[in-house]
Structure 1
Amino acid sequence: MLSNAFKALACPLDGGTLTQAEGVWRCTAGHSFDIAKQGYVNLLPVQNKRSNDPGDSKAMVAARQRFLNAGHYQPVAEAVRHAALKGASENERLSCLDAGCGEGYYLRQLASTTPQTPLALMGLDISKWAVMAAAKQSRQQGRPQQEQSRQQDATWVVGSNANLPVQSATLDRLLCMFGFPVMSEFARVLKPGGLLLQVEAGSNHLRELREIIYPTLKPERNAEPAVPEGFSLQATDTVCYSLTLNDKESIADLLAMTPHLYRASAEGRERAAALKTLIVSVDVRVIKWIKNA
């Protein structure tokens, strides 16, 4: 993969341009942010935190990492890669942010299957555990490769979608994978004509698991998404397939990586824990928004 360093970071305190030197990101006003030994930077000011440890827990991140690395959502990653790169000319440099990157699976998949397109990648999540895991996996994958592969790493950032530490109108692509979209911020950081890929669960997503852990299922809303200000709807694609999980560990990881673990009753969680195999539907919508000129 051809790659460029991500250079569009902004100071979370004053919005000024951040530059990197000697293990520190610094703005012209003198605010500085150290790069942690794991390879990420924390750009989430304490005043913007709603709790001491926001976002996914360490256990939730570990479950998602095991489940995704097993390839269960590979078709989703392929659909995102295809949508993100469709129409890009060969050797066109693309600056891409994964807003709510988790442990970095989808961004790594995009990078590893993109031999011709230079990418400047950034992964951001409000969970320090998620960003730490993403940075660690990125470094581990680079060790056996040539030294130049270290330049292929994404920039991993602890931050919030509500106040993206990114300069305005600098992104070509933005991914929001099962996350919490803040459309006003997404519109601010995307270039005119830039592409936002919003990936969300469809009406049948994990239905079989939900039928086990909940007494009844809520009626599904099938309305088309409202067009957010500053965007136009380009297309909506679906990714649907059946997934077979043949061990209790994989079923437990699937439940643990979703909000359903905390929404289900104790009885529902016990029913899921008793399963030895599960055939479950994956139903995902990939919504493509274009930033208006």
Structure 2
Amino acid sequence: MTTLPFQALACPLDGNPLQRQGAALCCAAGHSFDIASQGYTNLLPVQNKRSLDPGDSKEMVAARRRFLESSHYAPIAAAVSQATLAGVQAGVLSCLDAGCGEGYYLRQLAAAAEREGQTLALLGLDISKWAVLAAAKRDKQSTWVVGSNAALPVLPATLDRVLCMFGFPVYAEFARVLQPGGFLLQVDAGPDHLRELREVIYPSLKPPRNGETLTPAGFAAPTSEALSYRVEVCGAEQIADLLAMTPHLYRATAEGRARAAALTEISLTVDVRLTRFGREA
């Protein structure tokens, strides 16, 4: 398996193709973006930032890295890799992880592709510079950029796959960058995901949302499958790491967080939905 540099980056200021020139990425209009010594590039213009340091903090990224390395979410990564590589013919498969975090799922995809002899061009994008920095330190083969799903720094119709893992989908942008015949693979929490932890931190649980998945413009009707299994999370630190990588850390009251902090072990349901949106021709 070979992981090639991703060659279809676009200037976030004017949309022109970016080419590497020394230690920078440059477009024909003269815009230049330095490649950091760790191997990533910041392609998030300051005018597109909603805060000085958007996205996950350094501490949240570290918590996610520690928890994912425990392999509790390895079945999710395996299912994503299998779905992403299914039906791939000879050639280079180009894939974007839109909201890549610290790069866990792209690293697992690269390992799966290596076992199948598939060549990849991988791009990991996240709005958190701390997440992208952590990803670039671990993986020197993939391309890593700081950017936003709302304005992907990617040329139109250049991707075979887009992954959106527990993230914030921007379907118009995903449709723009996908080639006809490519697809978006979206992973979301199911109704029972981490139910036992939620029962600890909330006074009561909201009923699950009912409703069919809509078909965004530019995509064919989606197909979906469920993945559910049990995990045993042991140790207060690992439970704290899990809570830190979920929205529940901020949604819970101080009392709820205190109840979670008192736990030393918990048996949890992992329940996710994998939805595939095919890009129409």
Shorter-chain TM-score bucket reads over 0.9
Distance 2:277 2:248 in 1: 28
- SS in structure 1 at match of 2:196: helix
- The alignment's C-alpha RMSD in Å is 0.8
SS at match of 1:240: strand
Q: What residue number does 1:232 align with? A: 220
SS of the equivalent of 2:239 reads: helix
Question: Counterparts of 2:77 and 2:131 in 1: how far apart (Å)?
Answer: 18
Q: Does 1:122 align with 2:110?
A: no
User: Which residue number in structure 1 is paired with residue 102 of structure 2?
Assistant: 103
User: 2:5 matched to which residue of 1?
Assistant: 5
Q: Which residue of 1 aligns with 2:111?
A: 112
Which residue of structure 1 aligns with residue 92 of structure 2?
A: 93
Q: Which amino acid aligns with 1:192?
A: P
Output the CA distance in 2 between the equivalents of 1:267 and 1:12. Answer: 43
Q: Is the 8 A contact 2:215 2:222 kept in 1?
A: no
- State how far apart, in whole Å, the 1-side matches of 2:34 and 2:93 are: 26
**1:268 positional shift:** 0.3
Provide the residue aligned with 1:144 in structure 2: none
- Find out whether 1:245 has 2:245 as its counterpart: no
Residue aligned with 1:233, SS: coil
1:218 to 206, 230, 242: 206
Shift of 1:3: 2.3
TM-score, structure 1 normalization: 0.94
Percent identity of paired positions between Structure 1 and Structure 2:
64
Distance 1:6 1:58 in 2: 26
CA distance in 2, matches of 1:256, 1:136: 22
SS of the residue corresponding to residue 191 of structure 1 reads strand
Measured after TM superposition, the shift of residue 234 of structure 1 is 4.4
Unaligned runs of 5+ in 2: none
Please give the alpha-carbon distance, in whole angstroms, between the structure 2 residues aligned to 1:104 and 1:117.
Answer: 19
Q: How do residues 1-293 of structure 1 correspond to structure 2 at under 5 angstroms?
A: 1-89=1-89, 91-115=90-114, 116-139=117-140, 153-293=141-281
**Any conservation in 2 of the 1:203–1:222 contact (CA below 8 Å)?**
no
Runs of 4+ residues over 4 Å off in structure 1: none
Answer whether contact 1:100 1:123 (CA < 8 A) is retained: yes
Aligned partner of 1:127: which letter? S
Q: Which runs of 5+ in 1 are unaligned?
A: 140-152
**Structure 2 length normalisation: TM-score?**
0.98
| Rounded Cα–Cα distance in structure 2 between residues aligned with 1:28 and 1:21 | 11
Q: What is the distance in 1 between the residues matched to 2:252 and 2:110?
A: 36
